[in-house]
């Protein structure tokens, strides 16, 4: 059955409309309808074997039978058959598609020596839509991952702060200067808008965590990742530094540029860039390294506060060796949060978190022995005590002094003495450097 041809004016209108929606530039297509001959021609971005397969599939979907004129790399030409495929008269008047990738011209041409019916119009529109479908721009987060970063997503359902104990001042500072501004950006924005003649973002641009090793700087970044409501991107500085000469600076700059793309001018949709152990960029005495770190530093100095790009990211840096850092680098951070050695109360709270079965008196006496320990060392001593307990149990089981079935939950708990021994062991092995 032959469909009646459509009104020329309607066909034209629909094609132009779809081309417009597909962002097909007027400069790259032509639409003619002269002397009862239809011709539509448009340039495509790429031409390869799959272009021909796609054209065939789309053709077949709209009109059942075709005859292939030419099928070779770089050129495909097909023509629709008559309804009765054995009738070949006037076949040259049927609709014809050419896909060409030759001579640097990549284009698709649809022509017909008479009017257009509805299925033919649908064919034309499908071809336009298919070949103008832009590859979705890769999302900056996955590009950051391909650049070697790890991305941590926020977790709305969990409070991450219960992973650490003590350090109330540090936690308050982190909440005040990082988490609240990220979570409630609108409120901060309203306040600056009503106080300043030239409103600028009230949220921090760059925060530096300083303090000795093992006091929770890296852990805090992970907590922030979960609590802030925005993704945190971990930049592996060491890894980047070890790249080929010249590559490392390019990669670092790329990472910041990608982060800027993630939230351009949209402070409500931020991103945190985390530079752990930023001291790997401290000036080195080694001359070859010196040149490499100097170039990395100059990238960081330009990008760290995102001012250059008006970007929406917040940079967090962490260092154990603030004194070794370049002064210009330190000055880029608008907030510095110091993680001190834990005080007696911090130690007691950490003990209560990691050995919750201990009595207050035990905690008191152990904390005394642990003065000068970092949280990491406290944690390591706790683990050591757990291993000591396990050894004790295994030894007594093997000797037949006890049997497993009779052990209660209490028997598995490390004792105060187990902890005290672990602490002494730790002190002996570090030469009690504290």
Ligand X SMILES: Nc1ncnc2c1ncn2[C@@H]1O[C@H](COP(=O)(O)OP(=O)(O)O)[C@@H](O)[C@H]1O
Q: Kindly list the residues in this chain that would bind ligand X in the complex (CB under 6 A).
A: 164-167, 213-219, 350, 353, 375-376, 379
CB of 207 to ligand X, least distance (A): 14
| Closest to ligand X by CB, 181 or 375 | 375
| Closest to Mg ion by CB, 39 or 218 | 218
Tell me the C-alpha distance between 231 and 279, whole Å.
Answer: 24
Which part of the chain contacts Mg ion (CB under 5 A), choosing from 28-36, 190-198, 215-223, 424-432? 215-223
Residues 42/108, Cβ–Cβ less than 8 Å: yes
| Closest to ligand X by CB, 127 or 347 | 347
Q: Which residues contact 206 (CB under 8 A, 6 or more apart)?
A: 304, 305, 314, 315, 316, 317, 332, 333, 334, 335
Query: How far, CA to CA in Å, does 332 sit from each of 203, 259, 281, 297, 325?
Result: 15, 18, 14, 12, 12
Binding residues for Mg ion, rule CB under 5 A, total 2
| Closest to ligand X by CB, 113 or 376 | 376
Question: Using CB under 5 A, which of 77, 218, 309, 365 touches Mg ion?
Answer: 218
219 interacts with Mg ion by CB under 5 A:
no
CB of 320 to Mg ion, least distance (A): 7
CB of 369 to ligand X, least distance (A): 17
Q: Which residues contact 380 (CB under 8 A, 6 or more apart)?
A: 426
Residues 353/404, Cβ–Cβ less than 8 Å: no
Locate the DSSP E strands across 276-388: 313-319, 335-338
CB of 171 to ligand X, least distance (A): 8
CB of 219 to ligand X, least distance (A): 3
Q: Which residues contact 214 (CB under 8 A, 6 or more apart)?
A: 374, 375, 376, 377
| Closest to ligand X by CB, 271 or 381 | 381
| Closest to Mg ion by CB, 206 or 316 | 316
The neighbour count for residue 87, using CB atoms within 10 Å, is 10
Residues 316/221, Cβ–Cβ less than 8 Å: yes
CB of 314 to Mg ion, least distance (A): 18
122 interacts with Mg ion by CB under 5 A:
no
Binding residues (CB under 5 A) for Mg ion: these are 217-218
């Amino acid at each position: 059955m032959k469909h009646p041809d459509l009104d020329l004016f309607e066909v034209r209108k629909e094609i132009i409309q779809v081309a417009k929606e597909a962002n097909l530039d007027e400069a790259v297509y032509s639409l003619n309808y002269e002397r009862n001959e239809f011709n539509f021609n448009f340039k495509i971005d790429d031409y390869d074997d799959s272009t021909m397969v796609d054209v065939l599939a789309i053709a077949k979907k709209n009109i059942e039978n075709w005859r292939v004129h030419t099928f070779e790399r770089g050129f495909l030409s097909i023509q629709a058959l008559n309804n009765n495929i054995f009738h070949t008269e006037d076949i040259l008047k049927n609709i014809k598609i050419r896909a060409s990738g030759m001579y640097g011209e990549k284009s698709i041409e649809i022509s017909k020596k008479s009017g257009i019916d509805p299925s033919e119009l649908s064919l034309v529109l499908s071809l336009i839509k298919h070949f103008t479908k832009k590859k979705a721009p890769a999302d900056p987060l996955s590009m950051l991952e391909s650049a070697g970063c790890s991305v941590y997503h926020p977790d709305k359902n969990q409070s991450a702060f219960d992973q650490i104990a003590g350090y109330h001042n540090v936690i308050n500072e982190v909440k005040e200067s990082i988490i609240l501004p990220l979570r409630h950006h609108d409120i901060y924005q309203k306040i600056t808008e009503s106080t300043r003649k030239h409103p600028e973002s009230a949220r921090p641009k760059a925060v530096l965590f300083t303090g000795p090793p093992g006091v929770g700087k890296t852990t805090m970044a992970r907590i922030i990742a979960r609590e802030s409501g925005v993704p945190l991107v971990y930049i592996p500085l060491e890894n980047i530094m070890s790249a080929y000469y010249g590559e490392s600076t390019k990669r670092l700059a790329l990472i910041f540029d990608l982060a800027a793309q993630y939230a351009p001018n949209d402070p409500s949709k931020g991103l945190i860039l985390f530079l752990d152990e930023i001291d790997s960029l401290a000036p080195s005495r080694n001359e070859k390294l010196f040149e490499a770190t100097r170039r990395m530093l100059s990238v960081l100095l330009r990008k760290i506060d995102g001012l250059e790009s008006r970007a929406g990211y917040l940079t967090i840096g962490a260092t154990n060796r603030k004194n070794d850092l370049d002064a210009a680098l330190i000055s880029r951070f608008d907030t510095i949060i110091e993680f001190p050695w834990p005080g007696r109360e911090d130690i007691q709270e950490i003990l209560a978190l990691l050995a919750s079965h201990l009595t207050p008196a035990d905690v008191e006496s152990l904390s005394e022995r642990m003065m000068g320990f970092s949280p990491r060392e406290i944690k390591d001593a706790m683990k050591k005590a757990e291993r000591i307990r396990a050894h004790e149990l295994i030894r007594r089981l093997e000797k037949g002094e006890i049997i497993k079935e009779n052990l209660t939950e209490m028997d598995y708990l490390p004792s105060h003495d187990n902890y005290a021994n672990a602490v002494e062991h730790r002190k002996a092995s570090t030469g009690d450097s504290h």
